[in-house]
Amino acid sequence: MKTNNLTVLADMYGCPNRCRHCWLGHMPNRRMPDNSDKLIVEYFKPCFHSVTFYSWVREPDYCDNYAERWEKDNEISVNAKPRRFDLASFWRLARDKNYVRFLKSVGVNTVQLTFFGTEEMTDWYVGRKGAYLELLQATGTLIDNQIAPRWQVFIDAENATDIIELLAHSEELKLSERCKAFDGEFSLFIHSGSCDGENRKLYPLRINKEDIPVELIPYYINYSESKTEAELCEMLADDASRFSYHNENEITLNVANTFDVYFNFTHMRPEWKIGNILTDDSSELVRRIINEDVSALSLARNTPVSALVKRFGNSQSHKIFDCVDDYKAFLLNRLLEANVG
Tens of pLDDT, residues 11-33: 999 999 999 998 888 888 899 99
Q: Which CATH number fits domain 5-214+248-292: 3.40.50.300, 3.40.430.10, 3.20.20.70, 3.10.20.70?
A: 3.20.20.70
Rounded Cα–Cα distance for residues 275 and 129 (Å):
36
- pLDDT tens string 173-226: 999 999 999 999 999 999 999 999 999 999 999 999 999 999 999 999 999 999
Domain ranges of the chain: 5-214+248-292
Rounded Cα–Cα distance for residues 247 and 243 (Å):
14
- pLDDT tens string 63-103: 999 999 999 999 999 999 999 989 999 999 999 999 999 99
Rounded Cα–Cα distance for residues 314 and 305 (Å):
14
> According to DSSP H, which parts of 119-278 are helical?
119-126, 131-144, 160-172, 175-180, 229-236
Q: What is the mean pLDDT of residues 327-337?
A: 95
Whether the full predicted model's pTM is greater than 0.85, yes or no, is yes
Sign of the dihedral through C-alpha 103, 185, 192, 166:
positive
Rounded Cα–Cα distance for residues 138 and 155 (Å):
21
CB proximity list for 302: less than 8 A, separation 6 or greater: 242
| DSSP at 81 | -
- pLDDT tens string 253-286: 999 999 999 999 999 999 999 999 999 999 999 9
pLDDT for 23 equals 85
Is-contact 244 174, C-beta < 8 A? no
